[in-house]
Structure 1
């Protein structure tokens, strides 16, 4: 009896853990985010809030950056600083004109991101999941691109 229970628990554990390794949740539109969209590629991860003036100014730059990086194995993602969810997240993203993917689930723990109390803050994460840069304040597409290129050159 104990052996069967242990075997059953091992199987259940493997199934549960097998599906959790790289769970990035859903985006602002309720769509599941596949692991291959974030794993093994460089990421630009921006934290924003609706009440943040510099965030509002920065978003068109990040939209342009996301378009520029579309075919380069580099993803641009947003995270709402206030952790709004569901319809509220979709609405806030829409109001600010965000065209890149916004993660409903904050990946800070997955990437061991340092908590920032200031906004906007953007992290550049390499293809191994390591934080390479924390950019404080408003960024332009050109500034982020230059930083990405410099970091990739030293990779």
Structure 2
């Protein structure tokens, strides 16, 4: 095999592998969310909508959990169920007081998350990107922290 062909094949393999850790798109502020900032961590992914009363009620709990996660090695992410983007996503997130990252692009395909027609719904994904838990209904920071702790224990 020629040197050039090996180089081209190596570059193609690198590009394919890089696609596996593609960035997460943008957040509610229009900022890029790099894969390196989320990959390899426990993720709590919550789907919400402006019209969902339990979603509105749990956002302060998720804000608290997100703050805890900074020192405990996990991240809280939000996803708008209605697919809001750009200024609409920013406006809705601000109106509800969301302080954690809200992804403009749905990460469901990345983690094979099942679609839920009920809201709110929260998924816990492990550092390898495997869905570990689907929780329907309103969650509390304490309850989610307990689930995370239990799942982490199982992995050890």
TM-score of the pair, normalised by structure 1? 0.89
SS state at 1:65 partner = helix
C-alpha distance in 2 between matches for 1:154 and 1:18: 29
Partner of 2:137: 137
Q: 2-side partners of 1:64 and 1:154: how far apart?
A: 24
Distance 1:8 1:58, change over 3 A: same
Gaps of 5+ in 1: 1-5
TM-score normalised by the chain length of structure 2 = 0.89
1:104 aligns with 2:109: no
Alignment check: 8 A CA contact 1:37 1:75 kept: no
Counterpart residue number, 1:53: 53
Gaps of 5+ in 2: none
Is the alpha carbon distance of 1:10 and 1:141 closer, same or farther for their aligned partners in structure 2, counting shifts above 3 Å? same
Distance in 2, matches of 1:58 and 1:10, equals 49
Aligned residues: CA RMSD = 1.9
Q: Matched residues in 1 for 2:85 and 2:7: separation?
A: 36
Aligned equivalent of 2:89: 89
SS at match of 1:45: strand
Counting matched residue pairs gives: 151
